[in-house]
Amino acid sequence: MTMMNSMTNLTKGFLIALLSTLVMLTGCSTPRTKPAGVIDRSGGSSAAYEPAPPGYYRVKKGDTLARIALDHGQAPRDVAQWNSAANPSFNPNVIEVGDLILIKPPAGTKVAKPAEKKLTPANPVTDKADVPAPEPTKAEVVAEPGIRLSWPAKGKVTGEFNETNKGIDIAGKVGEPVLAASDGKVVYAGNSLRGYGNLVIVKHDNTYLTAYAHNSKLLVKEGDSVRKGQKIAEMGDTDANAPKLHFELRVNGKPVNPTPYLQ
């Protein structure tokens, strides 16, 4: 009898231990709570993906104010001023996905003229003493090709204009001169645009911009007026795998092949 009681007690003890183990295993197999995801500053609102109204641009991932301005044919400083005037809390250094950026001058805003000297029209009037210079008209600004550009650097063209290369690449050596392709005003001189290195952007009128990238040294600053053929930088390899000048022409913010415009 005593032996049977002992066996019964052993059996009970074994069953209790087995059940305890099963409970522990079951607890361990309970799925864990997923870690918190990345906070969406837009609050999940679809507004961040809605088309921007006329005159505005909606910020996308990777944008900078300088790139937004370049892509819309505007000076970064102008874009910053327009948005600061419209929104006193606007910070040009802190823009977020979904933000609306004003890319056109507000009504009544006076846009400064890039340069006093007018661009050479496509079919210039013969230079004679008895022929007065024609009065500038708005038609001259939009005529194509209403701008004649000089080569911004000497060297072999190693990169042609295409969908991915928004300009042409001119090979050279570090320190060689980079020249303004036409009269204009420097609207950007810095290195905040990823992939362009030390960059100069010259605005020639309300239609045309030229950009000069990868420089080793910038010789002009924002707000400077420059003349055609003036040395504005020295060639380099910033954000590039070899010394070269990446040269772009923008017409109303859209990159176009600059080669037909070069003389």
The pLDDT tens digits for 145-193 are 579 999 999 999 999 999 899 999 999 999 999 999 999 999 999 998 9
Q: What is the mean pLDDT of residues 243-254?
A: 96
Return d(Cα 20, Cα 40) in angstroms, integer.
Answer: 44
Give, in order, the Cα–Cα distances in Å from 236 to each of 24, 70, 97, 196, 216: 67, 21, 33, 11, 4
Return d(Cα 193, Cα 64) in angstroms, integer.
Answer: 7
List of E strands, 60-109: 100-102
Question: For residues 104 and 38, which has the higher predicted lDDT (pLDDT)?
Answer: 104
With bands split at pLDDT 50, 70 and 90, how would you rate the model's confidence at 35?
very low
Question: For residues 53 and 19, which has the higher predicted lDDT (pLDDT)?
Answer: 53
Domains of the chain: 48-102 (3.10.350.10), 141-261 (2.70.70.10)
Is residue 92 predicted with pLDDT exceeding 60?
Answer: yes
pLDDT (tens digit, 9 = 90+) per residue, 186-238?
Answer: 999 999 899 999 999 999 999 999 999 999 999 999 999 999 999 999 999 99
